[in-house]
Amino acid sequence: MQTKIKNPAVLAVFEGYSEEIRARLMHLRRLVFEVVAENPTIGDIEETLKWGQISYLPVKRKIGTTIRIDRVKNTEQFALYVPCSTNLLDSYRSIFADTFEYEDDRAIILNPQDDLPDDAIKHCIELALTYHLKR
């Protein structure tokens, strides 16, 4: 499982967060790499920036869609973002109706003081990283 951040632009964004938010986003990052290690269908993923947000997507086309992680603007919350053009948030809501707070069709909102439901988050990550395979 990859642990070192290889992309200097991604590293710079991580370093720009407060210590608390950075730790939470690094936790989400670890969950992304766990999902990838547990599901060989996803293959390699790219860690990059999209719209200034730390992003993960399968290198091989037509496997999955992009996941972005970031602090929610003007708050102390953080989020797992997916493209609003997908139906992923509908799926997340149907499976985890009472588990997460959602922002429209684009994000799962998380609070730094809460314990993260790792298994639920990993399921959501896997749905995104295999999105095109299940359509």
Q: Which domains does the chain have, with CATH numbers?
A: 8-133 (3.90.1150.200)
Q: Which 8-state DSSP code applies to residue 72?
A: P
Q: Give the model's pLDDT for residue 1.
A: 55
| Start-to-end C-alpha separation, the chain | 27
Question: Alpha-carbon distance 30 to 43, whole Å?
Answer: 16
51 or 2: which leads in pLDDT: 51
Beta strands in 7-118 (DSSP E): 45-50, 53-58, 67-71, 78-81, 101-103, 107-110
Six token digits for residue 73: 């603007």
Residue-wise pLDDT for 12-44, tens only, equals: 999 999 999 999 999 999 999 999 999 999 999
Residue-wise pLDDT for 79-120, tens only, equals: 999 999 999 999 999 999 999 999 999 999 999 889 999 999
Neighbours of 78 (CB within 10 A): 23
